[in-house]
Amino acid sequence: MDFLLHPATWLLALDWGIRIVALAWIPVRSAPAAARSWLLLVGFLPLLGLPLYLAFGHPWLSRERRERQANASRVIAERQQPLARLRWTPHDDSIADDIARLCERTGDFMPMGGNAIALEDDYAASLQALLADIAAARFEVHLLYYLMFDDAVGDAVADALAEAARRGVHCRLLLDDVGAKRGLRAYAPRLRAAGVDVRAMLAGGLAWRRSARMDLRNHRKLAVIDRRIGHTGSQNLAAPGFVPGFPNREVVARVQGPVVAQLGAIFASDWYIETGEVLAVPEQPPDAAGTSPAQLLPSGPAYPFANARNAVVALAQRARRRLVVATPYFVPDDATLDALEIAALSGIEVQLILSRSNNQRLTRWAQDSYLDALLEAGVKVALHRPRFLHAKHLSVDDEIALVGSINLDIRSFALNAELGLLCYDPAVVAQLRRIEAHCLADAEHLDAAAWRQRPHWRRSVSGIARLADSFL
């Protein structure tokens, strides 16, 4: 019986005990795809896999944050009831009718007409538009961004906010604590000294234990100036080359009209969730500034449904002629992959625009593994060059455009707080079509037969990387 006292016996028992507990516990707490990935890791490396699962395996949010999101959603619904006259009503049984109802039920906001929406894919031009709007602000500037770097763009934005605060403008800056770590360290002290209210979202380091799983991030990008002008899209507060060798290409929407109130509500909600402070929100949205119907779609782990994923799948399912999707990171779940394949097999022109360069190597390897089935189904795949295509946008026929911060990956769908702007206007879709055309004009278009001939070692690396899809 001496073997029972041997350390190797106890280690073996612990090893198999972890595997058995994981098999009983993980599938109950995780989606099937994520559970498979975690069980594979724990099965091979139990002593490493278990602590990693405890830290990263479940999109945990504190009860306080979930309750605050539920309170914010309730207030948004109540505030919209008296504004029924501003609701835009699409034609019955149209694509827009289906999508607008889905997004309102899951993301809280109704579609509103009377907006002016300008899409910009020139990095410098979109930045200058934001700086000009801050410089012209009279009473309020609210900025919420995932990333802010201590570079020329960060300097320009910080200077603009400090100057606005000195003019008496009430400025608030809400930044993700991890994504904007460098910006917070460089600018927060002097901005606070100038009168700007600077807060960090989802504290990193050991402080994460009080609020959420440590890798849950707020990935939104938005600005609201004087409650009448809004900016949202994929562009952060950083120079385009903040990742060396990967200068970014982005798309930003500058918005005027009633939907700006929805952007303001998102900022107020995130401010409340982070600080507990309730900001004053006007009873009436801005007056009509154009003719475009639009609707915001927020998503994230605090919501009961996968808002972004469900909207993308629904858009792909309802396309009738053409579907174009641009994303820098393509690690889809099964529902999204199936929707794209089925659309192409149904005879719809499906164009996927990815970036030829990528600043996340493991994600790029995993991404490659999905392209075989898509190309086989008839999906057209283009790799944009020479810049890093960081823009995230989607268009359906000539009816709907979606721009924002949502990547087509499991992280955006399940872990990050994201934001999308849905535009139900052929004129806005035409703007996005021109941007898509520019991306496609400077791209490598994949050939299915040639793609299948890539080296076996690349296929193997991609297949192995895909096993980590739930971690990316």
Active site residues: 219, 221, 226, 390, 392, 397
Is residue 15 classed as helix, strand or coil in its secondary structure? Answer: helix
What amino acid is encoded at 351 in this protein? Q
Alpha-carbon distance 419 to 222, whole Å? 9
Nearest to 269 by CA among 63, 65, 60, 59: 65
Is residue 261 classed as helix, strand or coil in its secondary structure? Answer: helix
DSSP 136-194: T-SSEEEEEES-B-SSHHHHHHHHHHHHHHHTT-EEEEEEETTTTHHHHHHHHHHHHHH
What amino acid is encoded at 338 in this protein? D
C-alpha dist (Å) from residue 103 to 14, 112, 280, 441: 47, 13, 25, 32
Across the strands, what pairs with 408?
Answer: 330
Alpha-carbon distance 281 to 289, whole Å? 20
Nearest to 269 by CA among 434, 421, 77: 77
Please, are residues 403 and 233 in contact by the beta-carbon 8 Å criterion? yes
Please, are residues 70 and 295 in contact by the beta-carbon 8 Å criterion? no
Please, are residues 358 and 388 in contact by the beta-carbon 8 Å criterion? yes
Nearest to 220 by CA among 285, 295, 296: 296
Torsion, Cα 43 205 472 334, to 10 degrees, reads: 80
Cβ neighbour number for residue 309 with a 10 Å cutoff: 22
What amino acid is encoded at 165 in this protein? A
Alpha-carbon distance 171 to 167, whole Å? 10
Distance linking the first and last C-alpha atoms of the chain: 47
